[in-house]
């Protein structure tokens, strides 16, 4: 690879990493802001939850379409589209006068966020040669780990001293700067080709993934009189998902599928995605349950909670590149096996949390669990996408992004539902409220501990992908002005 191409590739990947950090940071800033927004906007808890639900729904609907977008449109215009949508949504959120406008802003933000992650993954797989993909994926792990780690801390500081609007005001100039820099310096690194968009698949995808995520997000939430129960939404989404899958299989033979499921012809991809999905359920469930436990059982405030969870998140991010280099040297198994065992062990330990558990115990457990996650995600991202053909990278990225969203929503729903059910049972038996909630949290973590046993089984079936001879991909001539067509 020439020095010019290497420099271009680093620039493109670094721009995408910065932009992805910004959009993921925004996603976690809202984690501790909902009570403040309820008070300032004079809305109920059920209403303010739409800020999270609408974001998740939008992500789950748009991510499956990104496979088509990344095939049909060049890197630069897709980047500009994503960051423009995100910046517009952030601006509207800054100026929002009521909850309805803020929800609209979150939908627009999510539209940009949904495009960024598959764009980053596909670009890295296109540009990074197989022998260094682990190291490059390590930087992606850093971004997706550090941003969620610092988000609640930054949000806690802002909410302690400033208006909630500053959460968006601080992000806006960074996103506009990334947009301006990308518009000027981003180069096209793929060659778009014609791909028809199947309208029926788009509708089925939106209804299927939207129904599943909406249903999962509302498990345990009391339905309004006459409203469709959460279970019906999820079941309906699952039925439509089966129809969507059948249509994609049919289109693989006769046309252009919206989401090419031939990625699952690779057993390594399938096992890696299943393992990633189970670990995402555990991660997102933990992210939700720990703050509830720390604040409502141990009595910490939002800032203290954010600071306590910060070391683990930062450590997971900082370990990303080092884990990536190790992956390039030793392969996945020596990282994945200890990583899964560590996460599983901590989840089982978390089932023992009580009202008098020392904070140091929580801090230590979270740090150890974060090390386990660091050993998992970089190898899994690398193995999964390296196991499919280069022509399927965009679809593989879309599949992974979709699995992340659905698994995350499922993890949150299952952990919270089990926590609520267990707490209610204990309260009915006469336990004090804090004791009941503490027991409920232990029940939620029991869900994660059981899920981790499935991951322990899966991890032994992951293999290092055979090196793919696709050197031409990495040295292709790129026209920075977009004359490769399709953009």
Judge contact between 193 and 44, C-beta under 8 A. Answer: no
Residue ranges in 256-389 assigned as alpha helix (H): 267-296, 302-330, 333-350, 359-386
What pLDDT sits at residue 367? 93
Model confidence, pTM = 0.76
What does the alpha-carbon distance between residue 103 and residue 96 come to, in Å, rounded to a whole number?
Answer: 9
The Cα diameter of the chain in Å comes to 72
pLDDT tens string 164-193: 899 899 889 988 988 888 888 776 666 666
What does the alpha-carbon distance between residue 65 and residue 349 come to, in Å, rounded to a whole number?
Answer: 40
User: Please, which pLDDT band fits residue 25 given cuts at 50, 70 and 90?
Assistant: confident
What pLDDT sits at residue 6? 65
What pLDDT sits at residue 342? 94
Query: Containing H/E element for 95?
Result: helix 75-95
User: Quick one: which of 261, 12, 6, 272 has its CA closest to 120?
Assistant: 12
What pLDDT sits at residue 474? 40
Structural domain boundaries in the chain: 3-184+258-466, 200-257
Average pLDDT, the chain: 81
| Ranges 96-105, 256-265, 300-309, most confident | 96-105
Q: Is the pLDDT of residue 472 over 50?
A: no
pLDDT tens string 316-359: 878 888 888 888 888 888 999 999 999 999 999 999 998 999 99
Q: Which two tokens stand for residue 169?
A: 């005001």
What does the alpha-carbon distance between residue 471 and residue 54 come to, in Å, rounded to a whole number?
Answer: 42
Judge contact between 478 and 1, C-beta under 8 A. Answer: no
What does the alpha-carbon distance between residue 135 and residue 178 come to, in Å, rounded to a whole number?
Answer: 23
Q: Which two tokens stand for residue 308?
A: 């306590």
Distance in angstroms between the alpha carbons of the first and the last residue of the chain: 25
Judge contact between 24 and 144, C-beta under 8 A. Answer: yes
What pLDDT sits at residue 484? 35
pLDDT tens string 368-394: 999 999 899 888 888 888 888 877 777
User: Quick one: which of 370, 337, 374, 366 has its CA closest to 349?
Assistant: 366
Judge contact between 138 and 378, C-beta under 8 A. Answer: yes
What does the alpha-carbon distance between residue 294 and residue 306 come to, in Å, rounded to a whole number?
Answer: 10
CA angle 395, 413, 273 (to 5 degrees): 30
* Four-CA torsion 213, 459, 242, 221, nearest 10 degrees: -20
User: Quick one: which of 377, 407, 304, 333 has its CA closest to 143?
Assistant: 377
What does the alpha-carbon distance between residue 150 and residue 107 come to, in Å, rounded to a whole number?
Answer: 23
Query: Containing H/E element for 156?
Result: helix 133-161
Count the residues in the chain: 487
Query: Containing H/E element for 265?
Result: none
Judge contact between 163 and 14, C-beta under 8 A. Answer: no
User: Please, which pLDDT band fits residue 95 given cuts at 50, 70 and 90?
Assistant: very high
What does the alpha-carbon distance between residue 329 and residue 4 come to, in Å, rounded to a whole number?
Answer: 27
Report the CATH architecture of 3-184+258-466.
Answer: Up-down Bundle (1.20)
Judge contact between 300 and 137, C-beta under 8 A. Answer: no
Q: What is the 3-state secondary structure (H, E, C) of 23-82?
A: HHHHHHHHHHCHHHHHHHHCCCHHHHCHHHHHHHHHHHHHHHHHHHHHHHCCHHHHHHHH
Mean pLDDT of 394-420: 80
Contacts of 369 (CB under 8 A, 6+ apart): 286, 312, 342, 343, 346, 347
Judge contact between 397 and 350, C-beta under 8 A. Answer: no
Q: Is the pLDDT of residue 88 over 90?
A: yes
């Amino acid at each position: 690879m020439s020095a010019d191409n290497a420099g271009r590739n680093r620039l493109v990947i670094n721009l995408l990493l910065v932009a992805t950090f910004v959009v993921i940071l925004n996603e976690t800033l809202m984690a501790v802001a909902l009570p403040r927004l309820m008070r300032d906007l004079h809305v109920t808890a059920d209403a303010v939850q739409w800020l999270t639900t609408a974001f998740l729904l939008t992500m789950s609907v748009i991510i499956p379409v990104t496979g088509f977008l990344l095939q049909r449109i060049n890197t630069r215009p897709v980047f500009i589209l994503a960051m423009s949508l995100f910046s517009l949504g952030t601006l509207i959120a800054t100026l929002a006068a009521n909850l309805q406008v803020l929800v609209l802003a979150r939908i627009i933000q999510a539209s940009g966020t949904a495009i960024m992650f598959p764009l980053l993954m596909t670009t890295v797989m296109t540009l990074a040669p197989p022998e260094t993909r682990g190291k490059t994926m390590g930087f992606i792990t850093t971004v997706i780990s550090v941003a969620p780690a610092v988000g609640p801390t930054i949000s806690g500081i802002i909410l302690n001293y400033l208006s909630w609007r500053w959460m968006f005001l601080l992000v806006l100039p960074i996103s506009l700067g990334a947009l301006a820099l990308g518009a000027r310096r981003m180069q096209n690194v793929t060659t778009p080709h014609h791909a028809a968009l199947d309208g029926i698949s788009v509708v089925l995808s939106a209804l299927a993934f939207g129904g599943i995520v909406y249903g999962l997000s509302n498990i345990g939430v009391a339905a309004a009189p006459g409203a469709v129960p959460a279970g019906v939404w999820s079941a309906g989404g699952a039925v439509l998902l089966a129809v969507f899958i059948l249509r994609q299989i049919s289109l693989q033979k006769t046309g252009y599928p919206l989401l090419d499921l031939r990625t699952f012809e690779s057993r390594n991809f399938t096992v890696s995605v299943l393992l990633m999905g189970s670990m995402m359920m555990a991660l997102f469930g933990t992210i939700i349950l720990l703050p509830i436990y720390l604040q409502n059982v141990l009595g910490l405030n939002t800032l203290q909670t954010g600071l306590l969870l910060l070391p683990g998140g930062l450590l997971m991010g900082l370990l990303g590149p080092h884990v990536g280099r190790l992956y390039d040297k030793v392969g996945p198994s020596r990282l994945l096996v200890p990583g899964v065992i560590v996460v599983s062990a901590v989840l089982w330990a978390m089932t023992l949390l009580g009202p008098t558990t020392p904070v140091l115990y929580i801090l230590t457990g979270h740090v150890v669990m974060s090390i386990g996650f660091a050993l998992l995600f970089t190898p899994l991202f690398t193995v999964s996408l390296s196991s499919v053909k280069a022509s399927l990278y965009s679809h593989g990225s879309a599949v992974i992004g979709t699995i992340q969203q659905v698994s995350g929503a499922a993890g949150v729903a299952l952990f919270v539902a089990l926590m609520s059910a267990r707490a209610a049972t204990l309260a009915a038996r006469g336990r004090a409220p804090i004791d009941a909630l503490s027991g409920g949290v232990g029940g939620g973590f029991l869900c994660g501990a059981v899920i981790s046993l499935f991951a322990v089984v899966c991890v032994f079936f992951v293999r290092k992908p055979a090196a793919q001879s696709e050197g031409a991909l990495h040295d292709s001539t790129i026209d920075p002005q977009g004359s490769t067509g399709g953009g």
